Structure 1
Amino acid sequence: MRLRNIPGAKEEMNQNPDIVIGNPSQHKGNWSKLFNNDHPIHIEVGTGKGQFLIGMSMLHPEVNYIGIEKYESVLLRALERTKDSEQENVKFLNEDVGNILEFFEPGEIDRVFINFTDPWPKNRHEKRRLTHKGFLELYQQILNENGDIHLKTDNQGLFEYSLESFSGYGMSLHNISLDLHKSGIAGNVMTEYEERFSRKGMRIYRCEAQFEFKTHRNL
């Protein structure tokens, strides 16, 4: 899908450094100081237009949220929404998820959200899937020993692949749902895609996965 370029998007983000954090590597190991508290930190990889993360930040003021999105024109909408909401416990990085180790110290993050990521269905693109073992290796290094991954997707193929990827990596699986909106789960905050797919009657798949951290510090 080709993304529409929005002129001035980068400039707008540069004018709001309290929301879109420039040079995030400078805050590695010190994100609590940036938020001015010691609350848990949850990140969303591929955060899109920010609806989910802002909704979560409003529902859980006791948690700090960081969204990572590499496309400027998409992240601009998240910035606008955050300014409107005036939420202080949500920040964004205009960065590539593949560079995540440059931004966070080992054990600094409490949860990773992966919502409606591109399924990259062709086999030759497997390594681009955000639940591929290459990305799991990155998440494991930044998550603390109680940390976990929460996945939501409308794509059955990606969901099945992710379950196999999590299990193959030695992760434990929890709260697996094959039809989230009929599961009765409380506190679900929907993304833009989730709202769209739900209106069409499509199933939403969800699971939680947790690492075994016996060798965490040796990675």
Structure 2
Amino acid sequence: MKAIRIYEFGAPEVMKLEEVPDPKAGPGQVVVRIRAVGVNPVETYIRSGIYPKPPTPFTPGADSAGEIESVGEGVTKVKVGDRVYTAGALTGTYAEKALCKEGQVQPLPQRASFAQGAAMFVPYGTAYRALFQRAHAAPGEVVFVHGASGGVGIAAVQLARAAGMTVIGTGGTEQGRQLVAKEGAHHVLDHRAAGYLDKVLELTKGRGADVILEMLAN
């Protein structure tokens, strides 16, 4: 199979497309035939060497979606042919196939595309944890998603809207702001505009947001 391999840390050019042996499922493991891959910022940090460095060579990636190609002894939750998305992988997901623990794959509904499944784990897991496990967001509250046009930001907008919150999101470009509005934000602000934070107070009648998710990081 083909896979991205990294032998040294640095710029994107350190990623090499190579032929590698197909993974084999051991006890409690599955092999996923990957149809779509999610690319997350953390993988660029790992590749560049500014995060803790895994042993080289390695294949990056944790998010993907596809079908179960084979299962190892003791696997009961999934079977060959099942559509799944991955929540981590033993061998990395920048590849045609990935070896996963049984617990690292989750069912992918028929109505969801492989591309949608590949965006589930890191973006939606991060947004869900921030909103509901750390901020304890509740219906009727106001959430301010500061930098809402990226993967985690869009996930936060969708989850907060579905939970009955009033969503204020920001974007730095017209295209980004249109996306934030399309994905469910009630109000969209330009975080490059002077005085845009005053608009948050205006929209909340001087009270401010109940929950703030900071994604802008610039």
TM-score range, shorter chain: under 0.3
Q: Which has the larger radius of gyration?
A: 2
Point out the structure with the larger helix share.
Answer: 1
**TM-score in terms of structure 1 length:** 0.28
The higher-RCO structure (CA 8 Å, 6+ apart) is 1
**TM-score in terms of structure 2 length:** 0.28
